Amino acid sequence: MAKRTIVALPGDGIGAVVLKEAVRVLDAAGFNADYVYGDIGWDFWCKEGNPLPQRTIDLIAKHKIALFGAITSKPKDEAAAELSPALQGKGFSYSSPIVGLRQHFGLDICVRPCRSYKGNPLNFIRRGKDGNPEEPMVDVVIFRQNTEGLYGGVEWSNPPQQVYDALMTHPKFRENFGWCPKEELAVSTRILTLKYTERIIRAAFVHAVKYGYKSVTVCEKPNVIRETSGLMWKVAKDIQKNAFPAIQLHNTNIDAQMMWLTKNPEDYGVIVASNMFGDIASDAFAGLIGGLGFACSAQFSEDGIGVFEPTHGSAPKYAGYSIPIINPIAMIESACMMLEYIDEKNIAARIRKAIAGVIEEGKVRTYDMMKLSGKPEVVTMGAASTIQMTDAIIARLK
């Protein structure tokens, strides 16, 4: 096996804690790699006025594969106040380095698997037909368009005159919003392009075929958001008909999906959605499989760059604990997604099997799995520390 170089981006808070554990697991599983560490996050904002320095962008461009912990983000005013005094008033403006990474590299495809582990005490439970509790096994993968739509950043308060004039050409705008003074308007656009809509939908179908899912569900709202959700649905129908006739295609509205997911989560396989709806659907499904301690993700670009990260944030309060208590599984699962992406499927499968074994045995559980609130004392109440959880996973690799 050729040696890989992986860019490790610890970031802030617990990001650095969990990344270290993921690297321990990768090493123990025999993954042959060098890690080059990249600077990203709050410290670099404060010290340099840039949370995503050019040298980090260069590292990712060179090596193409990055494992990312999490960063801390704060609102603009707070960010400005924490900038080092030497940099204040020099025109630095904070923006999220994650969004920066997505935009810079065009990481348009975001994949968020939500799979239940047998024996996870956080698994969703419902009442069955006979009145008894039953635990449906969830195995859903959300494909979220990651660069466009409502998070595309094209928005205004008090829009420029040309924008206002253009909006006034639309009869619905004139009728429903024409009464409002321009200064009192806030507008966020939802822009979709055919190219990136096709890419996310095709990626969803390819994944369904590769991993044996029976269906792809488009989760949008085409009956109301006719142009953009309508485009998603039309493209999905075309792609299914022309290239993937063996995969079933379903259509759910995002609101209804939020209701259906607690009724019959086992009915869904691959779900594809635009940016915000994918964000919502993936958080909602993650809640059924254990929440932030289990929610992993990957982001890919057209030219093969892959960034793999847990969906949780930096949980700054937990970073200062002398014994770390947060669950490393979301980060370790994200590392497994990286392994699959670079064709190290056997190592990924061994790690996943080890995680499954630890969870099913039920002896080693982090505080979230014991439904405790995240205080440092949890380790005296029987909760495994972050390190003990990682050790238990590593022990099962042998």
**What 3-state class would DSSP assign to 238?**
helix
What does each C-alpha distance from 147 to 151, 193, 313, 385 come to in angstroms? 7, 10, 19, 36
Question: DSSP for 155-175?
Answer: EEES--HHHHHHHHTSHHHHH
Cβ neighbourhood burial of 268 (10 Å; 0-12, 13-18, 19+): buried
Q: Taking the mean position of all CA atoms in its chain, how far away is CA 360?
A: 25
Question: Quick check: 330 binds ligand NAI (CB under 6 A)?
Answer: yes
Tokens of residue 122, six digits: 């956080």
In angstroms, rounded to a whole number, what is the distance separating the alpha carbons of residues 111 and 333? Answer: 12
Task: Report in angstroms how near the CB of residue 311 gets to Mg ion at its nearest.
Answer: 6
Could you say which of 56, 72, 116, 334 contacts ligand NAI (CB under 6 A)? 72
Stretch that binds Mg ion, among 212-220, 272-280, 345-353, 381-389 (CB under 5 A): 272-280
Which partner from the list Mg ion, ligand NAI, none does 312 bind, CB cut-off 5 to 8 Å by kind? ligand NAI
Per the DSSP assignment, residues forming a β-bridge with 298 are 111, 308
> What one-letter code names the amino acid at 268?
Y
Nearer to Mg ion, 7 or 98 (CB): 98
User: Side by side, which strands form the sheet with 306-310?
Assistant: 33-37, 4-11, 65-70, 306-310, 296-300, 109-115, 139-145, 270-273, 215-220, 248-253
Question: Quick check: 167 binds ligand NAI (CB under 6 A)?
Answer: no
Which partner from the list ligand NAI, Mg ion, none does 326 bind, CB cut-off 5 to 8 Å by kind? ligand NAI
In angstroms, rounded to a whole number, what is the distance separating the alpha carbons of residues 139 and 9? Answer: 28
Which partner from the list ligand NAI, Mg ion, none does 279 bind, CB cut-off 5 to 8 Å by kind? Mg ion
Cβ proximity of 89 and 126 under 8 Å: no
Tokens of residue 109, six digits: 């495809």
Interaction pattern, residues 260-299, with ligand NAI; x per rule: CB under 6 A: --------------------------------xx------
In angstroms, rounded to a whole number, what is the distance separating the alpha carbons of residues 77 and 93? Answer: 9
Per the DSSP assignment, residues forming a β-bridge with 191 are 149
Closest CA to 117 of 346, 389, 299, 398: 389
Stretch that binds ligand NAI, among 183-191, 206-214, 267-275, 311-319 (CB under 6 A): 311-319
Residue whose structure tokens are 């600077």: 39
Could you say which of 16, 315, 335, 351 contacts ligand NAI (CB under 6 A)? 315
Question: Quick check: 111 binds ligand NAI (CB under 6 A)?
Answer: no
Task: Report in angstroms how near the CB of residue 369 gets to ligand NAI at its nearest.
Answer: 9
Question: Quick check: 279 binds Mg ion (CB under 5 A)?
Answer: yes
Stretch that binds ligand NAI, among 48-56, 212-220, 240-248, 326-334 (CB under 6 A): 326-334
Nearer to ligand NAI, 222 or 287 (CB): 287
What does each C-alpha distance from 119 to 1, 137, 163, 358 come to in angstroms? 34, 11, 55, 9
Cβ proximity of 388 and 19 under 8 Å: no
Stretch that binds ligand NAI, among 123-131, 251-259, 300-308, 312-320 (CB under 6 A): 312-320
Could you say which of 159, 222, 374, 376 contacts ligand NAI (CB under 6 A)? 374
Question: Quick check: 152 binds ligand NAI (CB under 6 A)?
Answer: no
Task: Report in angstroms how near the CB of residue 334 gets to Mg ion at its nearest.
Answer: 15
Stretch that binds Mg ion, among 74-82, 276-284, 347-355, 361-369 (CB under 5 A): 276-284
Question: Quick check: 357 binds ligand NAI (CB under 6 A)?
Answer: no
Nearer to ligand NAI, 17 or 261 (CB): 17
| Length of the chain, in residues | 398
Closest CA to 335 of 67, 112, 9, 111: 67
Question: Quick check: 368 binds Mg ion (CB under 5 A)?
Answer: no
Closest CA to 1 of 342, 398, 352: 342
Question: Quick check: 33 binds ligand NAI (CB under 6 A)?
Answer: no
Question: Quick check: 376 binds ligand NAI (CB under 6 A)?
Answer: no
In the bound state, the residue with its beta carbon closest to ligand NAI is 313
Question: Quick check: 314 binds ligand NAI (CB under 6 A)?
Answer: yes
Nearer to ligand NAI, 44 or 205 (CB): 44
Nearer to ligand NAI, 143 or 244 (CB): 143
Which chain residues interact with ligand NAI by CB under 6 A?
70-73, 98, 292-293, 309, 312-315, 326-327, 330, 368, 374
Which chain residues interact with Mg ion by CB under 5 A?
279
